[in-house]
Amino acid sequence: MLYEHEVEFRVRYQETDAQGRAYHGNYVTWFEVGRVELLRAAGHDYKSLEADGVYLVVAELSCQFFAAAEFDDLIRVRTTTARSRGVRIENHYEVFRGETLLATGRSVVACVDNTGKVKPLPQWLRLSKK
Amino acid sequence: MLYEHEVEFRVRYQETDAQGRAYHGNYVTWFEVGRVELLRAAGHDYKSLEADGVYLVVAELSCQFFAAAEFDDLIRVRTTTARSRGVRIENHYEVFRGETLLATGRSVVACVDNTGKVKPLPQWLRLSKK
Amino acid sequence: MLYEHEVEFRVRYQETDAQGRAYHGNYVTWFEVGRVELLRAAGHDYKSLEADGVYLVVAELSCQFFAAAEFDDLIRVRTTTARSRGVRIENHYEVFRGETLLATGRSVVACVDNTGKVKPLPQWLRLSKK
Amino acid sequence: MLYEHEVEFRVRYQETDAQGRAYHGNYVTWFEVGRVELLRAAGHDYKSLEADGVYLVVAELSCQFFAAAEFDDLIRVRTTTARSRGVRIENHYEVFRGETLLATGRSVVACVDNTGKVKPLPQWLRLSKK
C-alpha cells in the first residue's frame, strides 16, 4: 500500500460560509476524498471494499486550521498512512493552497463488518513499516 | 393523511455561503425536512416506511427564490400534499421568515422497492380528495 | 461566451445517503460547479465577477431525476447556456454516468449588486444568438 | 456566560451516508449548532457578534466516535465552555441519543476582526472560573 498521495480540487461555492471562506467542516470531507484517492492510487477502490463486507468507519478525527481557503481556491490534500494494522488505520492530512499550509489533520478509521462489529483489516490493507 | 404541516428551525452557519445568505441548495434539504415532518404529523415515520420496504425517491424538483435567508433566521417551511396516488406523491412547499415568503417549491417522489423498482404507494399513503 | 461545457468528478462518500445513492440535493451543487467551470472555460472566473461587484443569485431551479448516482461514480455534468441577456442567465444541465443520463436540470440566475439590487448583466456575459 | 447548554434535533436524511448512518462530518456542524445555542442561552446571538466586528473562527477541532446516529434519531448535543479568555474559547461537546453517548468533541475558536486579525475576546465573553 502507498504511504502518501496527493489530490487536487477547487473549493465549491456550496462549501463557503458567510465569513467568505470554506466552512471548517468541509475539511473533514476533503480528508475523506484524500483517503479514498490514496486507496485508489494503491490499486484498490473503497466501493469494492464495502462490496466485500469491509467497512471503514471513522473513530477519531482532529484538525488544526492555520489559514482560510476561499471559493475557487485550488486545494491540494496530501494524505499519509501513519499506521495500518490490527483493526485500525491512522491517516495524516495536510491541506495546501500552493505552498501555503492551510490545515493539518489526523483520522483513525476502524474496520467493521456489515453489522458494525469490529474485525481485523484485510492483510493487503496492513502496512509493514521497515 | 394530513394535507398540510409547518415546521420551524434556524439557518445554520454551515448552511450559509460567501454571499452571506443561505446557499440555495439547502432549500432542497429543508423540503425534505418538511416532507418527513408532515408524515410524522400524520402518525407515521419515514424510517419505518423504509424498514417496511417502501422507499420514496425524488423524481422531480423545482424551486423559485424570492428573498434570501441569512444565518440564524428562524425559517418556517409549510408543506402541502397536492396529490398522492398510484406510484407518486406531489408536495408543494412555501418557505417563510416571519410573514415574508422566501421561496416556493414542488417535488414529486416515486415509490420504489429496495431494488429501486417502482411500486404502488401503500393504501394509507394515498390521498383521496373529496 | 461558450454555450456548452463539460466537467467530470467523482461522487464523494459525504454526498451519499442512507439509500446508498447520491442525495438528490447534491445535484444542485453539481449544477453550480458546472456553471462555474463553463464561465472559466470562457476565460472568466466567478470570483473576479464578485470582486467587481457582479453577483449572480439563483432565482429558479428545477431538476428531473432518471437514475441514481452512487459513491465513487464518475459523473459528467454538461452545462449549456440557453439565454443570457437583460438581468438573467438561463442554464441547462445534463448529468451523465458514462452514456447513462442520470438527471437534467435548469437554473435561472439573476445579476445583482452587493446590496442585492437587480442590475443588468455585463455586456461580455450576454449571449447574442444568431 | 453560561457554562453548559443542551440542544436537541433530529438527524436529517441529507445527513446520512451510504453506511446508513449520519456522516461523521456532520458532527462538526452539530458542534457549531451547540456553540450558537449556548451563546443564545447566555443572552447573546452570534449574528450580532459579527455585526459588531467580532468573528469567531475555528482553530482546532477533534472528535471521538463511539456509536452511530441514524436517520431521524433525536440527538442531544451538550456544549460546555471549558475556557474563555485572551483570544480563544475552548468548548467541549457530548452527543447523545437518549442516554447513549455517541461522540465527544472539542473545539477552540479564535477571535478575529473582519480582516482576519486576531484580537482579544470582548470582556463579556470571557469566563472567570472561581
Extract the runs of DSSP E, i.e. beta strands, from chain D: 4-10, 55-65, 74-85, 88-97, 100-112
**Residues A22-45: what's their mean pLDDT?**
96
pLDDT for residue B130 is more than 50: no
Contact check, Cβ <8 Å, B61/C65: yes
| Percent of the residues in chain B that have a pLDDT greater than 90, as a whole number | 88
Mind telling me how many Å the CA of A42 is from chain D's nearest CA? 23
Q: A: neighbours with 3+ CB pairs under 8 Å?
A: B, C, D
pLDDT for residue C33 is more than 60: yes
Instruction: Please provide the average confidence, as pLDDT, over all residues in chain D.
Output: 95
D12, D29, D46: residue with CB nearest B72: D46
Q: Which residues of A touch B (CB under 8 A)?
A: 13-14, 16-18, 20-21, 23, 25, 70-71
pLDDT for the residue numbered D128: 65
- Identify all chain B residues contacting D36, using CB atoms and an 8 Å cutoff: 12-13, 72
Helical (H) or strand (E) element with A88 = strand A88-97
Q: Which residues of B touch A (CB under 8 A)?
A: 13-14, 16-18, 20-21, 23, 25, 70-71
pLDDT for the residue numbered A2: 72
Q: Distance between CA A86 and CA A111 in Å, rounded?
A: 9
pLDDT for residue C129 is more than 80: no
pLDDT for residue C8 is more than 70: yes
CB atoms within 10 A of CB D39: 23
Instruction: Kindly tell me the number of DSSP H helices and DSSP E strands found in chain B.
Output: 2, 5
pLDDT for residue C70 is more than 80: yes
Extract the runs of DSSP E, i.e. beta strands, from chain B: 4-10, 55-65, 74-85, 88-97, 100-112
pLDDT for residue A111 is more than 60: yes
State the pLDDT confidence band at B129, using cuts at 50, 70 and 90. low
Residue of chain B nearest A71, judged by CA positions = B18
Buried b (16+ CB within 10 A) or exposed e, C16-37: bbbbbbbbbbbbbbbbbbbbbb
pLDDT for residue A73 is more than 50: yes
Contact check, Cβ <8 Å, B17/A18: yes
Q: Distance between CA A75 and CA C3 in Å, rounded?
A: 28
pLDDT for residue B128 is more than 70: no
D12, D33, D36: residue with CB nearest B32: D12
Q: B: neighbours with 3+ CB pairs under 8 Å?
A: A, C, D
State the pLDDT confidence band at A130, using cuts at 50, 70 and 90. very low
pLDDT for the residue numbered B127: 80
Q: Which residues of A touch D (CB under 8 A)?
A: 18-19, 24-26, 28-29, 32, 50, 55, 57-65, 68, 116
Contact check, Cβ <8 Å, C17/D18: yes
pLDDT for residue B111 is more than 70: yes
Is the pTM above the cut of 0.90?
yes
Q: Which amino acid is at C69?
A: A
- Identify all chain A residues contacting B23, using CB atoms and an 8 Å cutoff: 13-14
Instruction: Please provide the average confidence, as pLDDT, over all residues in chain A.
Output: 95
C-alpha cell at B11: 439557518
Give the contacts of A21 (CB within 8 A, at least 6 positions apart).
A68, A69, A70, B18
- Identify all chain C residues contacting A46, using CB atoms and an 8 Å cutoff: 13, 71-72
State the pLDDT confidence band at D118, using cuts at 50, 70 and 90. very high
pLDDT for the residue numbered C22: 98
pLDDT for residue D56 is more than 50: yes
Contact check, Cβ <8 Å, B25/A14: yes
- Identify all chain B residues contacting C102, using CB atoms and an 8 Å cutoff: none
Q: Distance between CA A77 and CA A69 in Å, rounded?
A: 12
B14, B20, B23: residue with CB nearest A25: B14
For residue B35, count CB atoms less than 10 angstroms from its CB and return exposed for 0-12, middle for 13-18, buried for 19 or more: buried
Mind telling me how many Å the CA of B10 is from chain A's nearest CA? 15
What ipTM goes with this model? 0.95
Nearest alpha-carbon partner for C82 in C54, C108, C58, C56: C108
- pLDDT, tens digit, for every residue of B73-107? 999 999 999 999 999 999 999 999 999 999 999 99
| Percent of the residues in chain D that have a pLDDT greater than 70, as a whole number | 97
Mind telling me how many Å the CA of D130 is from chain B's nearest CA? 32
D58, D65, D116: residue with CB nearest A58: D65
Q: C: neighbours with 3+ CB pairs under 8 Å?
A: A, B, D
Q: Which of A28, A35, A54, A100 to mutate to test the interface with D (most CBs of D within 10 A)?
A: A28
Instruction: Please provide the average confidence, as pLDDT, over all residues in chain B.
Output: 95
C-alpha cell at B15: 448552511
pLDDT for the residue numbered D130: 44
State the pLDDT confidence band at D1, using cuts at 50, 70 and 90. low
